[in-house]
Amino acid sequence: MIAFVSGTVAALAPDAAVVEVGGVGMAVQCTPNTLSTLRMGQAAKLHTSLVVREDSLTLYGFADDDERQVFELLQTASGVGPRLAQAMLAVHTPDALRRAVATGDEKALTAVPGIGKKGAQKLLLELKDRLGEPLGAPAVGAPVSTGWRDQLHAALIGLGYATREADEAVTAVAPQAEAAQGTPQVGQLLKAALQTLNRAR
């Protein structure tokens, strides 16, 4: 089990980072929120969870240990694999997920790509006694993604784009974000923003 990786950020992509540890580049899958905290060439420490499959070993990285624990607990529910668990944490903080499960907030779960109404109902039942109580003060209907502009901007800066380029890309994808039903998905907006930046170069 690899509990964490600590080293210099060697590369950043829309859904992953490469951290150099003792001369070895460790590829770590991360949410946009975690990626926005990383900077190329700077030291970073990511709490990690290693997912072993017959044909692959995938390392998932998180800004803190609480997020890693929730990632692993989510996968104890039937039908939740690492990608869906990561998508849930891309949309909601660990506390927002605990609150959603504690209050039976179906709508919060259906805001995650890949979770429909029936899936949300099933998850609420299965996770009810697993995630525990929310740690922080309740934020009334405020998932982490409400500040999608700030998150997207920070992620673009983290990928090495200039402030002006990040500003322009955020403006370019704003219509797509506003047209989205429910909470805008920062991961999807990041991909769209990168496409606009690539076209502009």
Note the pLDDT of residue 139. Answer: 45
Domain boundary among 79, 94, 127: 127
pLDDT band at 200; cut points 50, 70, 90? low
Domain that holds residue 55: 4-62
Are 74 and 31 in the same domain?
no
For residue range 80-97, what is the model confidence (pLDDT) as tens digits? 999 999 999 988 889 999
pLDDT for 146 equals 44
Does a structural domain hold residue 164? yes
Q: Which pLDDT tens digit goes with each residue over 156-178?
A: 877 778 888 888 888 888 888 77
- Has residue 195 been placed in a domain? yes
Query: Does residue 136 fall inside a structural domain?
Result: no
Specify the pLDDT at position 19: 96
Kindly report the CATH number assigned to the domain that includes residue 14.
2.40.50.140
Arithmetic mean of pLDDT, 33-58: 92
Taking the C-alpha atoms of residue 196 and residue 172, their distance in angstroms, rounded to an integer, is 7
Number of domains in the chain: 3
pLDDT band at residue 70 under the 50/70/90 scheme = very high
